[in-house]
Amino acid sequence: MHAIRIEEHGGPEVMRWTELPDPVPGPGEALVRLGAAGVNYMDIGARAEGGPGWGAPAVLGAEGMGRVAALGDGVRGLAVGDRVAWFYHPGSYAELLAIPADSLIKVPDGVGDETAAAMMMQGLTASHLSTDTYPIGPGDTAVVHAAAGGVGQLLTQMIKARGGRVIGLVSREEKAPVAKEAGADHVLVHSGGGFEERIKELTGGRGADVVYDGGGAGTFLSSQLALRPHGVHAYYGPFMGVPTLRPTDLPNSILLTYPVVHHHVPTHEALLRRTGELFDLVLDGRLTPRVTGRYALADAARAHADIESRRTTGKLLLLP
């Protein structure tokens, strides 16, 4: 089989289309033939800098979908030919993967392959943000950074489904219609900070109830200043830079949280329940991931370069 492998950290040029031995599923694992792998900012950080669980050399990628090709000993509830998806398995930029069965979700009939691949990491992230991190209720105002991106579009749709109002932030004027189409009530074009006064105007001087901030260190302070007293700053952009601060720097008694999607699905049962909720939203038409870029798996470096350019919207997929 072939996979996208790095020998050292760096730019997209370190990514290599590499022939490797076919994996063999061990006890409790399924061998899966890749149907589509999702591209995430996590992958960019893993390639450029590494981090816990992401040293070099390594095969990149964390999420995807495919079909079960073989089963290891002791696997129950799966059969060869089943369509399955996963939200986190390091090494997903590969034609074949041996994945723990407890990490796999069966894809329901009626949910397409590309939709399933586009839903997992970003869908569970958006679910975590809009429920456990800050449970959106009717009338709540949420600021969504990168509202035209994959997480941003799904998050906007989930907030609207829960009765909230969305102020979307985008980095370029041409991305504003994408955020509006996803359901944002207002869209502001900002490439960095300085948007807090406009948020205050749109909320009658009160401030937003929650800011979902994947914008990185450059937007950190403005996100906090845009909040109402005791509002929630959900900062989920560690690969974009992690600022330092003292607790006394926090304005308006706001609450700062660093949501980690693994805490949303700490068990296989939680993973089944949360993904079931996502697929139900897809099947009844309230959630639609927007796939805007499709690349051959061998061309993964081009996908990385494109997403780093900040000119992409929606979800990018790699196809074997």
The model's confidence at residue 270, banded by pLDDT at 50, 70 and 90, is: very high
At which residue do the structure tokens 């290599």 appear?
16
Q: What are the strands, taking DSSP E only, across 107-216?
A: 141-144, 165-170, 186-189, 208-213
- Say whether pLDDT at 93 is over 70: yes
Strands 186-189, 165-170: pairing is parallel
Exposure string of 60-82, with b = 16+ CB inside 10 Å and e = fewer, is bbbbbbbbbbbbbeebeeeeeeb
Q: Which of 184, 190, 196, 202 is nearest to 224 (CA)?
A: 196
DSSP annotation of 131 reads I
Handedness of CA 221, 46, 308, 113 (dihedral sign): negative
Structure tokens at 16: 């290599």
**Phi, then psi, of 127 in degrees rounded to 5:** -65, -45
The residue among 261, 317, 299, 314 whose CA lies nearest residue 4 is 299
The full set of domains in the chain, from first to last, is 2-107+290-319 (3.90.180.10), 126-260 (3.40.50.720)
**pLDDT tens figures, 104-137:** 999 999 999 999 999 999 999 999 999 999 999 9
Average pLDDT over every residue of 72-87? 97
DSSP conformational letter for 12? G
Measured CA to CA, the distance from residue 151 to residue 259 in angstroms comes to 14
Where do the H-state alpha helices sit in 91-149?
113-128
Q: Is the pLDDT of residue 238 over 90?
A: no
Which residues in 261-294 are b (16+ Cβ under 10 Å) and which e? beebbeeeeebeebbeebbebbeeeebebbbbbe
Distance CA 97, CA 103 (A): 12
The pLDDT score that the predictor gives to residue 235 is: 94
What is the pLDDT averaged over residues 272-292? 95
Structure-derived torsion over alpha carbons of residues 172, 239, 140, 149, reported in degrees to the nearest 10: 40
What residues have CB less than 8 Å from 248, skipping those under 6 apart?
none
Distance between first and last Cα of the chain = 11
pTM: 0.94
Place 52 in a pLDDT band, splitting at 50, 70 and 90. confident
Read off the pLDDT of each residue in 87-100 and give the average, rounded to a whole number: 97
b/e burial code for range 23-54 (CB count within 10 A of at least 16 → b): bebeeebbbbebbbbbbbbbbbbbbbeeeeeb
pLDDT band (50, 70, 90) for residue 237: low
Give the 3-state secondary structure of residue 219.
helix
- Convert the pLDDT of each residue in 156-204 to its tens digit: 999 999 999 999 999 999 999 999 999 999 999 987 889 999 999 999 9
